[in-house]
Structure 1
Amino acid sequence: MTSNWGLSFKLFPENAALWGQTSQSSIYAGSIPELAVDGLLNSWTHTNEETNPWWRADLLKAYRVNRVTITNRPTYGSRINGAVIRIGNVPDIYSNAICGVISTLANGATATFSCGGMEGRYMIVHIPGSQKILSLCEVGVYGTLAGNLAVGGSVIQSSTSANWFAEKAIDSNRGLQQLYMGCSSTLNETNPWWRLDLRQIYRVNQVVVTNRKDCCAERMDGAEIRIGNSLEINGSKNPICAVIPAIPAGESYSYSCGGMEGRYINMIIPGDMKMLTLCEVEVYGEGMT
């Protein structure tokens, strides 16, 4: 068994806006809202000239947002002056809390705004006032999934393939944009396993598992999700919440565990010549009273 406890390495936080859905108040000359998350510095969104133009990212799940990055377009950068950044759970532009205000931003420059873990499903940029145009080159939203118990836990796996460390399955990066960086993986072995220690006992209602996107989706086939308090045989004696027959590449599947009690979440694939790869594991539940 190879352990990676205490191992130091660089995580690659995923821009949650890439995973979500974008929209804006209006579209000028084909400058659609998706251009703010295409990774290109030679394209940008553009609204019509209007009152209170806005751009919105629906992250699809509530995040605790640590920071937002805004990259201005390389020309006519003054159009972003006065833009307000909001985070919250209401799609309406004015109902959510303010993370930051862009007073000015140079052409082509990137500014970072600390949001201090503000919780929300929606990230909105808008410019108050009449006869305004909102144009964004790139937008980044970085944080952790709100309510995900896995974020505060610690992990270990039976072995580690290259730099596919166990911790990468709980870094809030589903591994869909940074291939070969955002997922965990064991070696090819007998009964490979991955284990999350929640540090205390919870009633687990739901486990969400995301499969890798680039290839080899079948490596997760047959994985058992076990929940309990035993470390006997690396947790393989704990009760089963679910068995994963298959998860399509790049997809996230949710498994209901009905309040099973346990400190440990084990993912195990029984059999010889198996490899366990996990791009993200989310755990939702309540503490014991």
Structure 2
Amino acid sequence: MTCQESGGGKSPRELAKACNEGRMVKLWVGLLTTLTILVGHGEASACKPELDGYVQNLAQGRPTFQSSVYSHPIVGLASNAVDGSCNGDWYAKSCIHTNNDLEPWWYVDLGDRYGIGAVVMKNRGDCCGERLDGAQVYVGNDIADPKSNFYCGPITDTSLGSVNTISCYGYEGQYVFIIIPGRQEYLHICEVEVFGIKGCPMR
């Protein structure tokens, strides 16, 4: 049953309120389930099939973009971060890698607007994890100025092979960005997963 079908004579304001409350309950149940499993096992959920049926990884297989592609026999394409593999070894050919860009960036287009509960990011495991120091996660709808979108939080664990889980508090958006601000750096990420739900239309 959709939110519109369950109105039961409610005014538009009451319907929007009930719709939002139901959306947030579902979002936080899914988010808490995700966080419990992630904290307990310390690995990206693509490796955790028990998440099936609880939350959906909205990013897997979606279109992705990055500021540049590092020139190397192993091609660090943007799409590598949403290929469903949480292997942190660069030589497994499943990580993205930019050039030494000023404020390098990567983003995924989810195809529609979702209330985003959490973003999970797998760091490179074989080398240079500290390059992600200070990287920031944003969610929103403005691709022209990514930092004008909602700021979810920073990457705090840059150890080799680390998995960072950043809460976005249900903020709604179509795009999820990872940016290293304020310096020239290589950006490499080995998997990004985005968890959330489709929001109810507001009238």
TM-score, length of structure 1 as denominator length: 0.49
User: Structure 1 residue aligned with 2:57, among 148, 152, 158?
Assistant: 148
Aligned-partner residue type, residue 68 of structure 2: S
Larger proportion of helix: 2
In the alignment, the residues of structure 1 paired with residue 112 and residue 60 of structure 2 have an alpha-carbon distance, to the nearest angstrom, of 13
What does the per-residue CA deviation read over 1:216-236, in whole Å, with 9 as the maximum and x for residues that have no partner? Answer: 001111111000011123x22
1:239 is aligned to 150
What is the number of equivalent residue pairs in this alignment?
153
Contact 1:222 1:246 in 2 (8 A): no
Give the superposition deviation at 1:248: 1.4
Q: Secondary structure at the match of 1:208?
A: strand
2:129 is aligned to 217
Give the superposed CA RMSD. Answer: 2.3
Contact 1:152 1:198 in 2 (8 A): no
In the alignment, the residues of structure 1 paired with residue 97 and residue 174 of structure 2 have an alpha-carbon distance, to the nearest angstrom, of 22
TM-score, length of structure 2 as denominator length: 0.69
- Which ranges in structure 1 are unaligned for 5 or more consecutive residues? 1-20, 22-58, 64-88, 90-118, 121-145
In the alignment, the residues of structure 1 paired with residue 47 and residue 191 of structure 2 have an alpha-carbon distance, to the nearest angstrom, of 16
Structure 1 residues 178 and 243, CA gap change in structure 2 (3 angstroms)? closer
Contact 2:59 2:110 in 1 (8 A): yes
Give the superposition deviation at 1:175: 2.6
Structure 1 residue 62 corresponds to structure 2 residue 26: no
- Give the structure, 1 or 2, with the largest relative contact order (CA under 8 Å, sep 6 or more): 2
What does the per-residue CA deviation read over 1:21-48, in whole Å, with 9 as the maximum and x for residues that have no partner? Answer: 9xxxxxxxxxxxxxxxxxxxxxxxxxxx
In the alignment, the residues of structure 2 paired with residue 152 and residue 266 of structure 1 have an alpha-carbon distance, to the nearest angstrom, of 16
1:133 is aligned to none
Structure 1 residue 282 corresponds to structure 2 residue 193: yes
Contact 2:57 2:194 in 1 (8 A): yes
Bigger Rg, which one: 1
Q: Which runs of 4+ in 1 moved over 3 A?
A: none
Q: Secondary structure at the match of 2:81?
A: helix
Contact 2:58 2:110 in 1 (8 A): yes
